[in-house]
Amino acid sequence: MLSSKPCSDKDLVCRYIKGDDRAFEILFNRHKGKVYTCVYCYLKDENLADDVFQQTFMKVIDVLRSGTYDVDTKFLQFVLRTAYEIVSLK
């Protein structure tokens, strides 16, 4: 269970990897605005931005669950880089 004091992204990622789904919910809510805004600014299309936003977090979850994520990586930078890779394919 998470305490009332704010956790760092790194702490939340570690908790999520250990099975605490609430930790990912906090990470998602913390960064969703920034990620969506960046995706939309690239694409200028709301429907496409929604799709890429969803694909981004699905891929992030897959990477976290696979055990290949380096917990020393800045989480927001990782998410934005993932989004950019997906945008580049569109």
Kindly report the CATH number assigned to the domain that includes residue 54. 1.10.1740.10
Number of domains present in the structure of the chain:
1
User: Is residue 4 included in any domain, yes or no?
Assistant: no
User: Is residue 74 included in any domain, yes or no?
Assistant: yes
User: Is residue 34 included in any domain, yes or no?
Assistant: yes
Provide the domain limits for residue 77. 9-89
> What does the pLDDT average to over 29-44?
97
For the segment 42-84, what is each residue's pLDDT rounded down to a tens digit? 999 999 999 999 999 999 999 999 999 999 999 999 999 999 9
CB 35 within 8 A of CB 50: no
Q: Is the pTM of this model over 0.75?
A: yes
> What does the pLDDT average to over 24-42?
98
How many angstroms separate the CA atoms of 24 and 42, rounded? 25
Q: According to the model, what pLDDT value does residue 9 have? A: 97
Q: Is the pLDDT of residue 31 over 80?
A: yes
Interhelix angle 46-66/75-89, nearest 10 degrees: 130
User: Is residue 67 included in any domain, yes or no?
Assistant: yes
How many angstroms separate the CA atoms of 34 and 79, rounded? 10
Q: According to the model, what pLDDT value does residue 57 have? A: 98
* Longest distance between any two alpha carbons in the chain, whole Å: 40
